């Protein structure tokens, strides 16, 4: 395989797309310092799978992306493509189906790198093996950098051996050998894990055998349970069939009974219709007698109230008669006292008249005493006249009270006669069978009074 063309986009100092052709023979790149000569070699190493950012002279792998300048903005993507001539068909079998192989590596900020071979995405390991089979690579001695000649001269035998093996074209075999050893070690590890898995499987087989035995037992028990359930359902079905027959028999009997009760209900409905036809007249009679009973009850209550008022009036009159009798006795006592005073005055007058013939010296005193007696006599006479007038007033009031008592007695007698008539009517109503109606009327009257 031969390198034919190197294409760079956004890689380090190559902001725009650039293409570097590698023609047959000797190809040289000439230019001042800082023009990008070393960047071409680093681009070759980067596209061939370099993974160390230190070997790329940066602090991170994203430093290979164009960082911008005073006149150009920075970019977010860097891409390097290398076109190989595979006309001799020495590429690995996975990539040996075409005469040209294009290897592309693309990096994006914060996204990482991706490799593609002929447009198909591959691993970095696949790209490294591709170039190792061609006796080259990202860290191959064939890519000589500054100071590397002195390093090769002063290198140890092991390093020189690696250089010779790569020049002989066997470095790819070492890489494949190392990969094969890793695979063999992985296979050994897998065999160990397989043995562990087999042990686990054996344990699981024993557990599955126990479960199989339990499943067989469960299947046998399930079959027995199904048989017994079928037998139980058959027995239940026969019991339900017998119960259904009994229920049918009861239904027939109930239908006969319903028919009889329907006929009886029809007769009862007929009798009810007849009773309902006679009911308005009975209700009218009941209402009429109830109204009469209500009137009688009201009349009775009125008479009882009047009798109560009459008894209270009679008691009041008796109390007032007693009071008037006391007043009369007190006036008679006053009149008797006035009579006694008049008698004493008459006696004194006669005594004074008898003594008038006595001494002349006593005449003046006698005249004065006589004047006093006359004054006392006049006051006694006026008191007597007032007492007689009060006695006359008391006698008149007594006669009026006696008349009122007699009137109340007659009214009480009339009320008692009316009560006796009402009792006779109630007795007649009880004889007619209206006791319940009377009780209801009393209850209504009590409720109305409440």
Record the tokens describing residue 413, joined without a space: 């007698």
**Structural domain includes residue 113:** yes
**Of 86, 116, 138, which residue constitutes the final position of a domain?**
138
Highest mean pLDDT among 101-110, 144-153, 187-196: 101-110
C-alpha dihedral (193, 199, 200, 201), degrees to nearest 10: 110
The average confidence (pLDDT) of the chain is 78
- Check residues 445 and 54 and name the one with the higher pLDDT: 54
**Structural domain includes residue 40:** yes
Contact call for residues 137 and 131 (beta carbons, < 8 A): yes
Which CATH number does the domain housing residue 76 bear?
Answer: 3.40.50.300
**Predicted local confidence at residue 450, as pLDDT:** 43
C-beta contacts of 219-228 below 8 A and 24+ residues apart: none
Q: How far is residue 254's CA from residue 243's CA, in Å, rounded to a whole number?
A: 16
Which residues span the domain enclosing 443? Answer: 289-449
Which CATH number does the domain housing residue 293 bear?
Answer: 1.10.287
**Structural domain includes residue 233:** no
**Structural domain includes residue 406:** yes
**Structural domain includes residue 38:** yes
pLDDT above 90 as % of the chain: 12
End-to-end C-alpha distance for the chain, whole angstroms: 130
pLDDT-based confidence at 129, cuts 50/70/90? confident
**Structural domain includes residue 143:** no
Classify 188 as helix, strand or coil. Answer: helix
Q: What confidence tens digit (pLDDT) does each residue in 273-293 have?
A: 887 888 788 788 878 887 877
pLDDT-based confidence at 358, cuts 50/70/90? low
Q: List CB contacts of 101: < 8 A, sequence separation 6 or more.
A: 1, 83, 84, 86, 91, 95, 117, 118, 130
**Structural domain includes residue 259:** no
The domain tally of the chain equals 2
**Of 85, 114, 138, which residue constitutes the final position of a domain?**
138
pLDDT-based confidence at 361, cuts 50/70/90? low
Q: List CB contacts of 341: < 8 A, sequence separation 6 or more.
A: 376, 380
**Structural domain includes residue 208:** no
Q: How far is residue 409's CA from residue 319's CA, in Å, rounded to a whole number?
A: 15
**Of 115, 138, 161, which residue constitutes the final position of a domain?**
138
**Predicted confidence (pLDDT) at residue 145 exceeds the cutoff of 70:** no
Q: What confidence tens digit (pLDDT) does each residue in 182-219 have?
A: 888 888 888 888 888 888 888 888 888 888 999 899 99
Q: Which residues pair with 3 in a beta bridge?
A: 84
């Amino acid at each position: 395989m031969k390198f034919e063309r190197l294409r760079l986009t956004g890689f380090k100092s190559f902001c725009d797309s650039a293409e570097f052709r590698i023609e047959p023979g000797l190809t040289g790149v000439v230019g001042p310092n800082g023009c990008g000569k070393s960047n071409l070699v680093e681009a070759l190493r980067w596209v061939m799978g370099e993974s160390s950012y230190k070997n790329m002279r940066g602090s991170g792998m994203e430093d290979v992306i164009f960082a911008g300048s005073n006149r150009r903005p920075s970019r977010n993507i860097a891409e390097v493509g290398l076109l190989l001539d595979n006309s001799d068909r020495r590429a690995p079998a996975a990539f040996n189906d075409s005469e040209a192989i294009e290897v592309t590596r693309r990096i994006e900020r914060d996204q990482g790198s991706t490799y593609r071979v002929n447009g198909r995405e591959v691993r970095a390991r696949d790209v490294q093996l591709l170039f190792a089979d061609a006796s080259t690579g990202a860290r191959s001695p064939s890519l000589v950098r500054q100071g590397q000649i002195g390093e090769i001269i002063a290198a140890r035998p092991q390093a020189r051996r690696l250089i010779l093996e790569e020049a002989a074209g066997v470095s790819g075999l070492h890489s494949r050998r190392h990969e094969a050893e890793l695979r063999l070690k992985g296979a050994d590890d897998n065999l160990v894990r397989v043995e562990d898995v087999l042990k686990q499987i054996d344990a699981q087989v024993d557990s599955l055998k126990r479960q199989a035995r339990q499943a067989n037992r469960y299947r046998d028990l399930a079959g027995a349970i199904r048989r017994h359930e079928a037998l139980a359902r058959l027995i239940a079905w026969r019991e339900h069939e017998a119960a259904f027959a009994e229920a049918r028999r009861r239904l027939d009997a109930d239908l006969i009974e319903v028919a009889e009760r329907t006929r009886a209900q029809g007769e009862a409905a007929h009798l009810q219709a007849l009773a309902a036809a006679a009911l308005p007249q009975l209700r009218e009679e009941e209402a009429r007698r109830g109204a009469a009973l209500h009137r009688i009850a009201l009349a009775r209550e009125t008479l009882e109230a009047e009798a109560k008022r009459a008894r209270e009036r009679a008691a009041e009159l008796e109390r007032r008669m007693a009071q008037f009798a006391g007043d009369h006795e007190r006036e008679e006592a006053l009149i008797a006292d006035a009579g006694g005073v008049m008698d004493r005055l008459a006696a004194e007058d006669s005594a004074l008249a008898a003594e008038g013939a006595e001494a002349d010296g006593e005449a003046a005193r006698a005249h004065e005493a006589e004047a006093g007696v006359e004054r006392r006599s006049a006051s006694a006479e006026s008191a007597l006249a007032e007492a007689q007038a009060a006695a006359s007033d008391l006698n008149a009031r007594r006669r009026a009270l006696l008349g009122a008592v007699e009137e109340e007695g007659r009214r009480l007698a009339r009320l008692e006669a009316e009560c006796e008539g009402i009792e006779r009517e109630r007795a007649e109503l009880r004889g007619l069978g209206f006791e319940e109606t009377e009780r209801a009327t009393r209850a209504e009257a009590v409720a109305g009074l409440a």
